[in-house]
Amino acid sequence: MVEAVELRTDRVVLRAWRESDREPYAALNADPIVMEHFPAPLTRQESDDHVDRILAAFDEHGWGLWAAEVPGVAEFIGFIGLAIPRFEASFMPCVEVGWRLARSAWGRGYAPEGGAEALRFAFGELGLEEVLSFTAVQNVKSRRVMEKLGMTHDPADDFDHPSLPLDSPINRHVLYRARRP
Ligand SMILES: CC(C)(COP(=O)(O)OP(=O)(O)OC[C@H]1O[C@@H](n2cnc3c(N)ncnc32)[C@H](O)[C@@H]1OP(=O)(O)O)[C@@H](O)C(=O)NCCC(=O)NCCS
């Protein structure tokens, strides 16, 4: 087991998960607006299963989808961080940067602030050459975060998500790339 890295920005702490994060994480995963660009909101069990997979990745690597805290404001707002996606695609294997926040924390720039720190860590400590991010075409809020992070989008990289049926409205995905500065 590798010790978990903790990262900090001016406003956001990216820290190891606590048992007490499971409940607010399940609440945001049950919110249909938060989950608008995913197949469905998650049940408590599905949410806990996701936390278990996140914890396993931290055990293996010491980094991952960190629990995001805004000290003095909220102990847990969601996750921001890095992951190794499992599905098959032309751009695999890769490391992705991603985020999912409770609605009460939206619109304050927390995702770009934490995401920038995750990218700094990926290119610095991890020495990666490239980090990717992807989302459903219509997820403009998340695409805007990618753009604020200076990531670039080439329409030639757009893809059909292999875990979703071809006729799903969220099947078509955009891919954004960040190169090592
Ligand atoms: C994507 C997400 C993390 C954005 O995080 P955030 O910290 O709110 O990001 P920002 O505050 O920088 O907002 C990003 C952009 O989204 C838009 N936006 C954010 N909050 C909004 C709101 N409440 N209403 C309307 N637009 C909003 C704005 O256009 C903003 O860009 P701008 O500041 O240039 O105007 C958040 O919306 C979220 O968790 N969404 C659900 C989960 C998800 O889709 N995750 C990504 C899957 S790949």
Question: Tens digits of per-residue pLDDT, 88-120?
Answer: 999 999 999 999 999 999 999 999 999 999 999
pTM confidence score = 0.94
What distance in angstroms lies between residue 90's CA and the mean position of ligand 1's atoms? 28
How many angstroms is it from 106 CA to the middle of ligand 1?
6
The residues near 173 (Cβ < 8 Å, ≥ 6 apart) are 134, 135, 136, 137, 158, 159, 160, 161
Closest atom of ligand 1 to 136 CA is 48
pLDDT at 1 over 80: no
